[in-house]
Structure 1
Amino acid sequence: MAGQSVVRSGGRPPVSVVVPFYGSARDGEAVGSALASISVQRDDELIVVDNTPEGRLASLPRDPRLRVVAATAEQSSYHARNVGAEEAASEWLLFTDSDCLQPESWIDDYFLRPILPDCGIVAGAVASAAEGATLVARYARSRGHVSHGHRAAGERRIESFARPAGITANLLVRRAAWDAVGGFHEGIRSGGDVEFCWRAQDAGWRLEAREEAMVLHVQPTRLRPMLRKAVRWSAGRAWVNRRFRGMSPPPKVIRPLGRCAAGVAVWTLTGQLERAVFKAIDATMIASAAAGYCLSNSPSSGSAGRVSESRRSPTARPSVTIMTDAFPALSETFVANEALALRGRGHRVRVEASIRPARPLREAVRQLDISYLEDDSLVCKALSLGWLLGRHPIRSVRDRANRKRWAEQEDVWPLRSLGPPTRRLVRGGSEHVHAHFAALAALNAMRLSALTGIPYSVATHGYDIFQKPRNLAEKHDSAAFAVSDSEYSVAYLRENLGAGNGDRLHKLVLGVDGERFRRRSPYPGGRSVLAVARLVEKKGLRHLLEAAANLQRRAPLDRVRIVGGGPLQAELEEQRRRLGLEAVVELMGPRDPDAVIELLEQTDVLAMPCIVAGDGDRDTMPVVVKEALAMEVPVVATDEVGLPEVVRPEWGRLVPPADGAALADALDELLSMPREQRVEMGRAGRSWVLEHCDIASGTETLLALIKSSGGAR
């Protein structure tokens, strides 16, 4: 958030208006007419995102002030909003809906008062448009319904939610805030705006309200569309509650229905028939909301529909399911890379993930077939549990008996939560399950394997071995095989798990795509340093700041960029201030892979000062080291964990862990070398990585292990 200027009235910045569209060509003309009435400045943008599968806006007359972009990968308003935001060029993104009417001064009204630098979201007001003379329209106006079932927010919190939020019918978002949390989550129908606001606030951004910036929401004039909206909104509430436990509880039903029944009787007896009808509609809305809370929030038939498509393909190779926890996490791109590499070899690949991460990698979301356990509705869980108990009653009872033992070390999901993924595995024809991290995903994979007979494997990476080794021995014992990505971690596991796992425990290098990570501009040859890491203790970043301060006194660095987010953000900022490094060290926050590649092009040395944290947590082998070497960037790292297996004198330096002075000396040694010598070091590093850490070779090794275990043949 640093560096953002205060936005003051009288000189507002450019704004990109983004409107998702899913309707008829006539509806599109109405949207265009409404947007054309808005007062805009020269650099403002009006972007309509066509979310219809056939592109219904393609034939519309082009207004020079409007731009139509297509978003056809998924019929979801949040997908469309993300696509629109990706196309937009302005610092501020202003979201509205196609069934809203905006006044001429709408954009300007947001900037009548200053917007401070830490404000990432500004929620405008939403009021009901006084349109329609039907009974349903009168009912909607009397109840104050707006888009997604919320009332006009203003300074108040959204009705029925526990934290402040805005809705995308009228929401101004700072581009930096949108980037920081990866935009809206996709693959959902409703609730994404509230969830986005909460994620942004958790990331440190503040939300403000602007009642003066108001739009009018056009109400449904028929009962069925209004009930469908109530169902969709309530399904979104249930999804939000699964992501933020207890923050969006189920709607109350019994007492409200009783009041409705009493109201119908009283108003009928007193001759106020319209009020009686309104009470009857209230009852149907309450029942619809209760039903929606039990239903899916997916925009279509969900993963089951996609699985059936893959089963019908006679040419596809056998199916592999990857299980993980938060996916696709920006700090764990190797999981998505592996899935894409397996698919590139002709295998059908599905991902079963527990939850979406706080900062998703949108590119992977759109490329892969992903099912989220957090999306499984109450109805889906109940039906799948019945199917599972009927198909495997004895195995289900055995799973229930084992839960007590597992729960001594970690949280264990109830069997009903495993019903949907179990059914997807069987119906999708999965032949092998590969779990990343020996945490919840590995426990679920182990249980699914016991329930279905499908073999599974587990890949360990760091904290799941050293910091939180929960049920680790059993997860390895039950697996067809296990892998880890360094000799260091494999040796540790063999020593601590016993000899019985030795022949089923293998080193599997997390490889690098040498074509993607390829230098496309000359090596800079200056004194710049880059670190890409989560801001946690085991990354040793405070020692990098100590090294930078050391060098400032004798051989100053041009700049030090630290990419990543995490709990030590404030501590590192304070250390930077205390050491007087504000002009040299930049804490850049999270960046997507393409941005990291660009930064590697611009840097002279990658620093990876890993340590063993006080609680035992540590890395095994940071993938970014191999990515940097593939980009011909020399590396300075600590001689800790698996780093000595990759960082060698020909293309880097190793120093003792937690030694800022030694780190400074090694950085200075490399950066003082002639540019030509460093270029040769980079080339040597790339050559070694392509030979020993190529993603294609790692994929072939994994497939050979799966085949030998009786999985994908």
Structure 2
Amino acid sequence: MNISVIIPCFNAADTIAIQLEALANQQWSQPWEVIISDNGSTDNSISIAQEYKTRIPNLRIIDSSDRQGAGHARNVAAKVANGDALLFIDADDEVAPGWLAAMGEALAKYDLVAGYDDYKKLNDPWIVKCYQYENGTGVIENTYYLPFAGSGNLGIKRLLHDAIGGFDETLYQSEDVDYCWRAQYTGAKLQYVPEAIAHIRLRDTLTSVYHRSWAVGKGGVLVYKKHRPLGMPQLVTWKTFIKTAMILTFQVLRLQIRDKESLGRWLMSFAWRAGQLWGCIKYGYLPV
């Protein structure tokens, strides 16, 4: 099983060396390569990556700056990849020892796999609690629709990636959710590989938490509009917005926002629902 590890990169100078150092210590019994897909970096991310060419077998750096977006960067890399299987990770994370072998062995048996995401190593405790990720994540099962996993620790057979047309580059958020769902429409099952551990870096300021939650809420409406005709249940109703507004107001009045963690949680809930509401307006979805 030849493997291509794909890393979309945009201004990751502060973190990419950590990920590449982790990859330099990985082992796999068959040929493998690392492709860094530069999505228009203006810092010294690429010069840092160049330094690892002597330590990582078949490290390549390609240009994907013609269109912004991680989905586009991944698709461009996939088109030139030599592997029978593709592994997607991010430039600001860190794969754990044994990650490559665990994912490679899983892809020898399955078409679509996801590893275990740990959040404790690269993040302050308050932000981990804010996201409620103390126990980590893997394949997200308890959703209102099909399982999915994040693109920071995801593997797929090359033939399946090509069959579904890669990542949808029109989606600016949750393109990995859409990707997993479309792969499952073909009959593939998303297999969980707990031995394949990746340490994931979260947004670590209240401002960035707010903006990310807003974008996820807003972008989720686009994903819903795409998958609703294919069987996805209703995303949200006007009653949901009213209920959320009442809960958030109650939390403020009862003085339940007492520290940075509780404020972060409150901002996440507010921004997510506000983003959804704005997405409904912008994309013409009537939540009834």
The answer, yes or no, to whether TM exceeds 0.5 is yes
Measured in 2, the distance between the counterparts of 1:78 and 1:182 equals 11
Question: Which structure has the larger Rg over C-alpha atoms?
Answer: 1
What is the aligned partner in structure 1 of residue 74 from structure 2? 81
Measured in 1, the distance between the counterparts of 2:41 and 2:170 equals 15
Aligned partner (choices 234, 237, 245) of residue 217 of structure 2: 234
With over 3 angstroms needed to count, the CA separation of the structure-2 counterparts of 1:196 and 1:221, relative to structure 1, is: closer
Does the alignment pair 1:90 with 2:83? Answer: yes
| Amino acid corresponding to residue 226 of structure 2 in structure 1 | R
Measured in 2, the distance between the counterparts of 1:280 and 1:224 equals 11
- Structure 1 unaligned blocks of 5 or more: 1-12, 297-376, 383-413, 415-713
Measured in 2, the distance between the counterparts of 1:69 and 1:114 equals 25
DSSP 3-state at the match of 2:213: helix
1:387-536 pair list within 5 angstroms: none
| 1:42 positional shift | 5.6
What is the aligned partner in structure 1 of residue 138 from structure 2? 153
Does the alignment pair 1:17 with 2:5? Answer: yes
Does the alignment pair 1:62 with 2:29? Answer: no
| 1:267 positional shift | 6.2
What is the aligned partner in structure 2 of residue 123 from structure 1? 114
What is the aligned partner in structure 2 of residue 195 from structure 1? 178
Aligned partner (choices 106, 115, 131) of residue 143 of structure 1: 131
Measured in 1, the distance between the counterparts of 2:275 and 2:146 equals 22
What is the aligned partner in structure 2 of residue 213 from structure 1? 196
| 1:183 positional shift | 0.9
Measured in 1, the distance between the counterparts of 2:210 and 2:234 equals 20
| 1:230 positional shift | 1.1
Does the alignment pair 1:250 with 2:236? Answer: yes
What is the aligned partner in structure 1 of residue 206 from structure 2? 223
What is the aligned partner in structure 2 of residue 615 from structure 1? none
| 1:217 positional shift | 1.1
CA RMSD of aligned residues (A): 3.0
Q: Deviations over 1:665-684 (max 9, x none)?
A: xxxxxxxxxxxxxxxxxxxx
What is the aligned partner in structure 1 of residue 164 from structure 2? 181
Q: Is the 8 A contact 2:4 2:83 kept in 1?
A: yes
Measured in 1, the distance between the counterparts of 2:266 and 2:245 equals 6
Q: Is the 8 A contact 1:31 1:98 kept in 2?
A: yes
Measured in 2, the distance between the counterparts of 1:62 and 1:107 equals 21
With over 3 angstroms needed to count, the CA separation of the structure-2 counterparts of 1:132 and 1:92, relative to structure 1, is: closer
1:255-274 pair list within 5 angstroms: 255-263=243-251, 273-274=258-259
With over 3 angstroms needed to count, the CA separation of the structure-2 counterparts of 1:123 and 1:25, relative to structure 1, is: closer
Measured in 2, the distance between the counterparts of 1:138 and 1:281 equals 9
Identity of aligned residues (%): 22
Aligned partner (choices 256, 260, 281) of residue 378 of structure 1: 281
Measured in 2, the distance between the counterparts of 1:179 and 1:165 equals 19
Aligned partner (choices 156, 165, 169) of residue 148 of structure 2: 165
| Amino acid corresponding to residue 132 of structure 2 in structure 1 | G
Measured in 1, the distance between the counterparts of 2:172 and 2:12 equals 19
Residue correspondences, number: 275
With over 3 angstroms needed to count, the CA separation of the structure-2 counterparts of 1:132 and 1:93, relative to structure 1, is: closer
1:240-389 pair list within 5 angstroms: 240-245=223-228, 246-247=232-233, 249-250=235-236, 252-263=240-251, 273-274=258-259, 277-295=260-278, 378-379=281-282
Measured in 2, the distance between the counterparts of 1:24 and 1:77 equals 13
Q: Is the 8 A contact 1:94 1:172 kept in 2?
A: yes
Measured in 1, the distance between the counterparts of 2:262 and 2:245 equals 9
Measured in 2, the distance between the counterparts of 1:17 and 1:248 equals 36
| Amino acid corresponding to residue 211 of structure 2 in structure 1 | R
Q: Is the 8 A contact 1:17 1:95 kept in 2?
A: yes
Q: Deviations over 1:287-317 (max 9, x none)?
A: 2112322456xxxxxxxxxxxxxxxxxxxxx
Q: Is the 8 A contact 1:96 1:170 kept in 2?
A: yes
Q: Is the 8 A contact 1:103 1:215 kept in 2?
A: yes
| Amino acid corresponding to residue 291 of structure 1 in structure 2 | A
1:586-625 pair list within 5 angstroms: none
TM-score (norm 1): 0.35
With over 3 angstroms needed to count, the CA separation of the structure-2 counterparts of 1:223 and 1:163, relative to structure 1, is: same
Q: Is the 8 A contact 2:115 2:192 kept in 1?
A: yes
| 1:41 positional shift | 4.5
| Amino acid corresponding to residue 14 of structure 1 in structure 2 | N
What is the aligned partner in structure 2 of residue 39 from structure 1? 27
| Amino acid corresponding to residue 17 of structure 2 in structure 1 | E
